[in-house]
């Protein structure tokens, strides 16, 4: 079943801004290969974290809006979990009205 999702990804601050943009593009390409339709991306830039994650105090934030088959989310999350550039990611299913 195709659903609307909001995907927030936080990238390590060890990257340069251009490298963070490229990392997010790579994630979006991976989503497209899984059949996702990318609606838009909001780059929030580098921000302070509410609490340290792996001794890091800040991260690059990207909020991506997309349509994706709900069965593909689990596989994508598994590959995102092993991506060393990503600190955290979270898929949120949006209400379709």
Q: How far apart are CA 44 and CA 17, in angstroms?
A: 11
Q: What average pLDDT does range 19-25 have in this prediction?
A: 97
pLDDT tens-digit profile of 54-97? Answer: 999 999 999 999 999 999 999 999 999 999 999 999 999 998 65
Supply the pLDDT for residue 73.
Answer: 94
CB-count exposure of residue 61 (10 Å: 0-12, 13-18, 19+): buried
In the 8-state DSSP scheme, what is residue 23? H
Q: What average pLDDT does range 32-57 have in this prediction?
A: 96
Please tell me the pTM assigned to this model.
0.92
Supply the pLDDT for residue 97.
Answer: 57
Q: How far apart are CA 62 and CA 46, in angstroms?
A: 9
pLDDT tens-digit profile of 3-14? Answer: 999 999 999 999
Q: What average pLDDT does range 26-43 have in this prediction?
A: 96
Domain coordinates in residue numbering, the chain: 14-56+68-93
Reported in sequence order, the residue ranges of the chain that DSSP labels E, i.e. its strands, are 2-11, 37-53, 56-69, 86-93
Work out whether the CA dihedral 24, 17, 56, 58 comes out positive or negative.
negative
Supply the pLDDT for residue 35.
Answer: 94
């Amino acid at each position: 079943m195709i659903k609307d999702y909001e995907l927030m990804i936080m990238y390590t601050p060890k990257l340069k801004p251009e490298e963070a943009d490229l990392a997010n593009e790579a994630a979006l390409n991976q989503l497209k290969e899984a059949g996702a339709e990318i609606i838009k991306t909001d780059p929030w830039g580098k921000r302070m974290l509410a609490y340290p994650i792996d001794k890091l105090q800040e991260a690059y934030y990207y909020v991506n809006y997309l349509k994706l088959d709900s069965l593909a989310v689990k596989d994508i999350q598994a590959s995102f979990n092993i991506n060393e550039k990503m600190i955290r990611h979270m898929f949120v299913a949006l209400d379709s009205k």
